[in-house]
Amino acid sequence: MITIPGNLWCGGRGTFKSLDIPAGAVDNAAVKAAAGIEAEKLEHRHQMTFMPATSSTVASAGTYALHAVYGTAGRIVSFAAGLISPCTGDATVTVDLHKNGVTALSSTFDIDSGDAARTLVVGTIDPAKVTLAAGDVLEVVITVNAGTGVLGDGFFCRLVVNEDAA
């Protein structure tokens, strides 16, 4: 092995049988804008916002598919939900995220009169269920309880997923 204690500059082409590049040595600026890296070699971030009805529709119970994993692997980054108009009184909208029909959260969470309009309430992803595989289906499950109050309008949720290419 030959060690060069300082910088090395080559005015021509360098050809190597193998090359070890230290972590952090290549960053975004080092990749040419027109590099043409194929999508199959990248990780993709999907950030989807879903609203099952109009912004003036009262929140109602239901289960809705949000994402079907296409890539070979991935992970759930975050999940949150809110209402365009908040609940009043003791009315609550309970939210769950399912992966293949089973909760992916540490626990369900409620949106109630204490949550302001258009404010996301963040769910906690169960660390044991954060990983994804091709074919996994993610769904939002909504249950409602009007109690003695009024349910809010315009339920919406946001799911963020990182997914390796297929």
Report the top-level CATH class of 43-164.
mainly beta
Confidence of residue 123 (pLDDT cuts 50, 70, 90): very high
pLDDT (tens digit per residue) in 124-145? 999 999 999 999 999 999 999 9
* The model's pTM: 0.81
Mean per-residue pLDDT, 53-82: 95
- Position 62 scores a pLDDT of 97
C-alpha closest to that of 123 among 138, 137, 111: 111
Give the amino acid at 120: L
> Would you kindly state where each structural domain of the chain is located, as residue ranges?
43-164
53-84: b (≥16 Cβ within 10 Å) or e: eeeeebbeeeeeebbebebebbebeebbbbbb
pLDDT value at 14 more than 90: no
Q: Are 110 and 152 in contact (CB under 8 A)?
A: no
C-alpha closest to that of 159 among 84, 66, 73, 82: 66
pLDDT value at 51 more than 90: yes
Write out the two tokens for 133.
Answer: 């595989």
